[in-house]
Amino acid sequence: MDIFNVYLPVAGMEFNVLLLLLIGTTVGVCGGFFGIGGAWIVTPALNIFGFPMPYAIGTDLAHMGGKSIVSTIRHGKFGNVDVRLAVSMIIGTTVGMELGASLVMYLERIGLAESVIRKIYVIFLFLIGSYVLYDYLSHVRRQRKAVKEGAPKAEYKHTLAQKLQRINIPPMIHFKTSKIRCSLWLPVLVGLVTGVVASVLGVGGGFIRMPALIYLVGCPTLVAVGTDLFEVMITGAYGAFTYGVKGRVDLLAAMYMLLGAAIGAQLGTVAVKYVRGYSIRLLFAVTIFIACASVLFKQMNLQLLSSILILTAGIVISLVIITLLIRGVMKERRTAGAKSFVSTDREVRK
């Protein structure tokens, strides 16, 4: 395996290229499918294989910028990116991140930062995961009930989002791609809150923004994924620059990771075409629970176990997504084949 080792000049160490490609592909698939940056996989994965933490964070942010460009362009072509909504949220997110940073400084001054933040993180992930899972299960129950009673399938209503959309504070904006009309202040405020939370918890924010876009703003799942990736692209580029200037990005490692991530991101993004929004939500809930377990292990000083769990889970989830993609493509081909057979048959009969 030594032949695959390369010397990374900035991190000052040798690293296996295949491992970089594997990590990149895994995080690319998950990122493209869920609309998240994937720092929760990359940073611990690089760290357990010997990458010093600051370089792991910087290198992750750098490749995240490039990977999100691939996913955002593809989601954009699918009609899943609401640029207006993303820009409104970025304004709130930026302010929120600054407020969050000040809050962290305050917690550090009173000596509570480390313990409080990790506990809040676990509770937060658990609550989001539970809500998304509850929402999925109630949707399935409603669908089954509707089928049993012979009534048309009940459409899900985002009640909280609808209530929030009705708040009439000018300017009221029509977000065309998301097909929603609401006050500009709604996405700005949601961005602000998610920005504060992301900054306090020290995460990119995709984990929080994606469900917030669905349950608070009222976006369809696929638009939430695409719009969130647009934001990840901007924050990734900004993070790549700031960590680059501080000399904490190993560009060579980021380039190898991006090679894998670009392929993975494209596969993950195209996979959303073959699944329903609620299936994405179910897989997302599972992913959140795994992330939650990994933070719990970290809290119990089981760093290695936490990192291995997260990397393994990332690989398994990516394989599930790729399987869904392959099944979807095969089904599409079978349907197309059957349609062309029927039309040829009709022409022959004529």
Partner 1 sequence: MDYRIKAGSSVRSHHFLKVVLVLLVISSLLLLPLLAYAAGGGKPATKLYNVADTRNMEPGLSKWIADIYNDNLWTFGLLVVAIMAIMGLALGYLMDRSLVLLGINLGKLDHHE
Q: Which of residues 282-321 bind partner 1 (CB under 8 A)?
A: 304, 307-308, 311-312, 315-316, 319
Instruction: Out of 234, 273, 286, 299, name the contact with partner 1 by CB under 8 A.
Output: 273
Instruction: Determine if 138 is a binding residue for partner 1 (CB under 8 A).
Output: no
Q: One symbol per residue from 29 to 68: x for binding partner 1 (CB under 8 A), - otherwise; what is it?
A: ----------------x-xxxxxxxxx------xx-xxxx
Distances (CA, A) of 255 to 36, 61, 196, 244: 19, 12, 31, 14
Return the residues of window 203-222 that contact partner 1 according to CB under 8 A. 220-222
Instruction: Out of 145, 163, 176, 333, name the contact with partner 1 by CB under 8 A.
Output: 333
Task: For residue 81, give the DSSP letter.
Answer: -
Nearest distance from C-beta of residue 24 to partner 1, angstroms: 11
Return the residues of window 147-186 that contact partner 1 according to CB under 8 A. 155-156
Instruction: Out of 104, 234, 244, 322, name the contact with partner 1 by CB under 8 A.
Output: 244
Query: Partners of 272 in the beta sheet?
Result: none
Q: Is the dihedral of CA 220, 226, 229, 234 positive or negative?
A: negative
State how far the Cα of 91 lies from the Cα of 75, in Å rounded to an integer: 22
Nearer to partner 1, 124 or 215 (CB): 215
Nearer to partner 1, 55 or 230 (CB): 55
Instruction: Out of 198, 208, 210, 258, name the contact with partner 1 by CB under 8 A.
Output: 258
Instruction: Determine if 337 is a binding residue for partner 1 (CB under 8 A).
Output: no
For residue 13, which phi and psi values (nearest 5 degrees)? -155, 165
| H-state helical runs in 78-168 | 83-109, 113-148, 159-166
Q: In 10 A of CB 53, how many CB atoms?
A: 12
Instruction: Out of 126, 131, 241, 297, name the contact with partner 1 by CB under 8 A.
Output: 241
Return the residues of window 72-111 that contact partner 1 according to CB under 8 A. 73-74, 77-80
Nearer to partner 1, 112 or 245 (CB): 245
| Residue whose structure tokens are 């160490």 | 13
Task: For residue 38, give the DSSP letter.
Answer: -
State how far the Cα of 240 lies from the Cα of 250, in Å rounded to an integer: 10
Distances (CA, A) of 107 to 62, 98, 197, 316: 29, 14, 14, 37
